[in-house]
Structure 1
Amino acid sequence: MIIQIKGNVKYPITLDPSVWIFDDRKVKLEEAFTPSTVPNEDVIESNSKLNKPPVNHSIKKYNKKELLEHSYLMPIQEFIENAEADKQVSEAILKTTDNNEHTITYSELLESFLLFSIDGKQIKENGPAYLYYGDGSNQDDPIKGIKVIELI
């Protein structure tokens, strides 16, 4: 239940969505596509210039009930940036567990989210993650079963 980021990158990365439930960067699904939380170009640019958001830097007591009642997404941009894509990368091929491939633009990928938890549980069926576009345009039909993100 891992996701590989590979292709025209300096550092291929393997992601384990099962550990994201305690990550400070996660976003609740029901809040992700409201106008105040959809990342826009100004927010993305300012985030890239400022310090990155903390990743489990604070020790919090998590409300277990809350974690088990909500579905969570993880913004994908920081993971893609850490892989250091080549400058010529313009697209990403999303390979799924059902052996399908979906091609999206690199900019769409950077603004996307990965759904990794439904009602506080790891996604087993069609998992390990679903991809949602940053604008929420595919909320009713996310790309399911993401196992490889290949940058081309």
Structure 2
Amino acid sequence: MEFIVPITGNVKHNITLDPTVWIFDDRRLDLDIFFTKEFVERDEMEEYKEKMGKHWSREIMEGNTFPPTLKSEKRYEKDKMLTASFAIVVEPFIKNAEPNAGAKTFTLITKDNEKYTYPLAESANILFKFSHEGKPLREDGPVHALFRDGSNKESPIRNVQAIQVD
């Protein structure tokens, strides 16, 4: 099975997505908490500023050394990547393909040639699940499509192989 998802059609740039590298992407969403009340939508720029502020304050207070707490934080992140289920929002990838002015919809195409069509504006509400309990979706992947509201959490669109922008 190919582990790539091409974005083709009415776009300026055909893009090939590789879901196996998304585990390292900061935009990934932890599905173990995403559909719970504990999940809080985050602003990436604010989060970046907050991290930089904390790092700067730590350097001022402790000097340019890395205290032992950083090692344990990295270990926790590594363990989480090996055991959690993750997804990523589809919207930035479609935006990077730059749909042409006439493009109105995008279609998810599965291995069995089933097609699911949505308006381009809905791309922010569709997640691609790429990892289940720390493992890539080898059997019925490379990705599963989930709705942000969780309405198809139990029965996602499986075997998504391509995105066609129309």
Q: Would you call these one fold, judging by a TM-score over 0.5?
A: yes
Deviates more, 1:128-137 or 1:12-21: 128-137
For the residues of structure 2 that align with 1:79 and 1:107, how far apart are their CA atoms?
13
The aligned length equals 138
In terms of Rg, which structure is larger? Answer: 2
Provide the aligned C-alpha RMSD in A: 2.4
**What's 2:32 paired with?**
30
The residue type equivalent to 1:4 in the other structure is: P
Cα shift readout 1:30-58 (whole Å, capped 9, x = no counterpart): 2223467586xxx8xx87xx79x8xxxxx
Quote the sequence identity (%). 37
SS at match of 1:89: coil
More helix by share: 2
**What's 1:70 paired with?**
84
- Equivalent residue in structure 2 for 1:2, among 1, 4, 23: 4
SS at match of 1:11: coil
For the residues of structure 2 that align with 1:124 and 1:141, how far apart are their CA atoms?
17
Question: Structure 1 regions of 5+ residues with no counterpart?
Answer: 54-59
**What's 1:106 paired with?**
120
Deviation, 1:134, is 1.9
Deviates more, 1:14-23 or 1:27-36: 27-36
Closer, same or farther in 2 for the Cα pair 1:133/1:97, shift >3 Å?
A: same
Cα shift readout 1:3-50 (whole Å, capped 9, x = no counterpart): 0111111111000000111111101112223467586xxx8xx87xx7
Deviation, 1:71, is 0.3
TM-score (norm 2): 0.73
Deviation, 1:109, is 2.2
Deviation, 1:139, is 1.0
SS at match of 2:157: coil
**What's 2:130 paired with?**
116
Deviation, 1:145, is 0.8
Closer, same or farther in 2 for the Cα pair 1:69/1:102, shift >3 Å?
A: same
CA contact (8 A) 1:90 1:106 kept: yes
Deviation, 1:151, is 0.8
Question: Structure 1: which 4+ aligned runs deviate by more than 4 Å?
Answer: 35-39
TM-score (norm 1): 0.79
Closer, same or farther in 2 for the Cα pair 1:35/1:86, shift >3 Å?
A: farther
Question: Structure 2 regions of 5+ residues with no counterpart?
Answer: 49-72
Any residues of structure 2 matched to 1:17-96 within 5 Å, and which? Answer: 17-34=19-36, 37=39, 61=74, 63-96=77-110
The residue type equivalent to 2:159 in the other structure is: G
The residue type equivalent to 2:128 in the other structure is: L
The residue type equivalent to 1:92 in the other structure is: F
